[in-house]
Amino acid sequence: MKRRSFLKIAGSSAVIVAAGATGWGLTRTPTAALAPWQMAGAADYADPRVRALSYAILAPNPHNRQPWMVDLSAPGEATLFCDLGRLLPATDPYSRQITIGLGCFVELLRQAAAEAGFRLDVTPFPDGEDAANLDGRPAAHMRFVEDPATPRDPLFAQVLARRSNKEVYDTGRQVASSTLAALAESVGPTVRTDGTNEGPRVAMLRELTFDALKMEMFTDYTMMESIELMRIGKREINQNPDGLAFGGPLYDTLHLFGLMTRESLADETSIGFKQGVAMWEDLMMSAMAHFWIVTPGNARVHQLDAGRAWVRANLKAAELGVGLHPLSQALQEYPEMDELFAEMRRQTEMAPRETLQMFGRVGYGPPAPRTPRWSVETRIQGHS
């Protein structure tokens, strides 16, 4: 590290220490970007569709792109579209992962509707689909049917506690086979699940997922896709509450002193880039088990099903107090990833026509923070 950089960091550290006395650190929370978590289910939403949507927008999704847009112009109905400005063309060229995110959204909407006594009748891709590209046609048409007999889903109790836990897990604490079995039982009948907590196999999958992560980071155009979606510090996060958020006193200070910039994070020789690789290695190598979701094909409806299953497993993980973190890199379909993509299929024992839709690490870690969200009002059209 150059002396000038060291002095800047030392100065930054002094600011952080001083912040403890002034309360500055407490002001670094991007409150506006996190407000949708507090607003979920608010009585202010008189329309039960909007109230249900206020929960659905909390669904997990790739790079936190929040690709959903919902038309409420028809009474008692909701039509889900993909916001085509929120795709990931470099790492998700066929929008498979984006469609999975839409499936997570649909499942949370179904659960929230049931809480209010509505059955959600879902018709996936009612006007057809394009396997290569998402387009302007709806991803799903949904009818809210008032039905007091609609069963409530016990997993809904975990919606506000659900996280994609991206922390380092406790390598001294094992994940029981019964825990993996409970995750598998939670997802429903439309997908197949598998997983492992066997030491040698977990170790191999740790290495494979880290190799895939490095491939994404050291491939210029895929790394730049992430760089361009980074929101560094409170101001940027509040202005654009999507993408990859880096918030809190430390990140705000490093950004303030020019020590954490998009340019430095894109430079493979920089301290920030190298620390990012090391951070990801710590995460990957702390996996204590792995869990994955498989569909019998790769049509858009299979991708929606995978998303609905994944968020159910994520909710179950919250109920069990275990972390579940999606690792999508080795499942991505760009040329540089081909070899690792094929190896992941071999190691997870995919049948020829099956698709490995979701893969994640499991373990016990510290609590994970909430992620920023656009308000429900910004994700609705055709509603007064």
Other C-beta atoms within 10 Å of 269: how many? Answer: 7
The alpha carbons of the chain give a radius of gyration, in whole angstroms, of 21
Those residues whose C-beta lies under 8 Å from the C-beta of residue 156, and which sit 6 or more positions away, are 111, 112, 114, 115, 315
Give the HSE-up count for residue 63: Cα atoms under 13 Å, Cβ half-sphere: 26
User: Position of tokens 């469609």?
Assistant: 99
Average pLDDT over residues 265-277: 92
Other C-beta atoms within 10 Å of 88: how many? Answer: 22
φ, ψ for residue 281, nearest 5 deg: -60, -45
pLDDT in tens, 22-75: 565 567 899 999 999 999 999 999 999 999 999 999 999 999 999 999 999 999
Cβ–Cβ under 8 Å, residues 71 and 77: no
38 in a domain, yes or no?
A: yes
Distance, in Å, from the CA atom of 103 to the CA atom of 310, rounded to the nearest integer, reads: 9
Q: How far is CA 238 from the centre of its chain?
A: 18
Task: With a cut of 80, say whether residue 1 has pLDDT above it.
Answer: no
Q: How far is CA 276 from the centre of its chain?
A: 19
Average pLDDT over residues 76-86: 98
Spatial CA neighbour of 165 closest among 24, 286, 6, 22: 286
Q: CA dihedral defined by 203, 205, 211, 214, rounded to 10 degrees?
A: -100
User: Position of tokens 């740790």?
Assistant: 206
pLDDT in tens, 308-318: 999 999 999 99
Strand 77-82 and strand 192-196: the pairing is unpaired
Task: With a cut of 80, say whether residue 93 has pLDDT above it.
Answer: yes
pLDDT value of position 6: 40
7 in a domain, yes or no?
A: no
Which of 4-13, 54-63, 121-130 has the weakest average pLDDT?
Answer: 4-13
Average pLDDT over residues 340-351: 98
Distance, in Å, from the CA atom of 132 to the CA atom of 116, rounded to the nearest integer, reads: 37
Per-residue confidence at 184, pLDDT binned at 50, 70, 90?
Answer: very high
Q: Structural domain tally of the chain?
A: 1
pLDDT value of position 375: 98
Q: What is the largest CA-CA distance in the chain?
A: 69
Per-residue confidence at 86, pLDDT binned at 50, 70, 90?
Answer: very high
Cβ–Cβ under 8 Å, residues 86 and 374: no
Spatial CA neighbour of 232 closest among 220, 217, 248: 248
259 in a domain, yes or no?
A: no
Which of 10-14, 34-38, 144-148 has the weakest average pLDDT?
Answer: 10-14
Amino acid at 133: N
Task: With a cut of 90, say whether residue 216 has pLDDT above it.
Answer: yes
Those residues whose C-beta lies under 8 Å from the C-beta of residue 346, and which sit 6 or more positions away, are none
Distance, in Å, from the CA atom of 370 to the CA atom of 164, rounded to the nearest integer, reads: 9
pLDDT value of position 25: 59
Task: With a cut of 50, say whether residue 7 has pLDDT above it.
Answer: no
37 in a domain, yes or no?
A: yes
Q: What percent of the chain has pLDDT over 90?
A: 87
The mean pLDDT value of the chain amounts to 93
Task: With a cut of 50, say whether residue 4 has pLDDT above it.
Answer: no
Average pLDDT over residues 162-169: 97
| Residue length of the chain | 384
Average pLDDT over residues 178-205: 98
Please classify residue 248 by burial: count the beta carbons closer than 10 Å to its beta carbon, then call 0-12 exposed, 13-18 middle and 19+ buried: middle
Average pLDDT over residues 186-194: 97
pLDDT value of position 26: 60
291 in a domain, yes or no?
A: no
230 in a domain, yes or no?
A: no
pLDDT value of position 243: 97
> Between the CA of residue 327 and those of 153, 208, 300, 330, what are the distances in Å?
27, 11, 20, 8
40 in a domain, yes or no?
A: yes
Q: Say what angle helices 96-115 and 48-56 make with each other, to 10 degrees.
A: 130
Those residues whose C-beta lies under 8 Å from the C-beta of residue 323, and which sit 6 or more positions away, are 163, 165, 167, 169, 317, 361, 362, 363, 364, 365, 368
Distance, in Å, from the CA atom of 103 to the CA atom of 67, rounded to the nearest integer, reads: 11
Average pLDDT over residues 116-139: 97
pLDDT value of position 20: 52
Q: Could you list the residue range(s) of the whole structural domain that residue 59 is in?
A: 32-160+375-381
Average pLDDT over residues 288-296: 98
277 in a domain, yes or no?
A: no
Spatial CA neighbour of 289 closest among 347, 229, 223, 360: 360
Q: Look up the CATH number of the domain holding residue 106.
A: 3.40.109.30
Average pLDDT over residues 315-337: 98
pLDDT value of position 257: 81
Task: With a cut of 90, say whether residue 360 has pLDDT above it.
Answer: yes
Average pLDDT over residues 263-288: 94
Global pTM?
A: 0.94
Average pLDDT over residues 330-337: 98
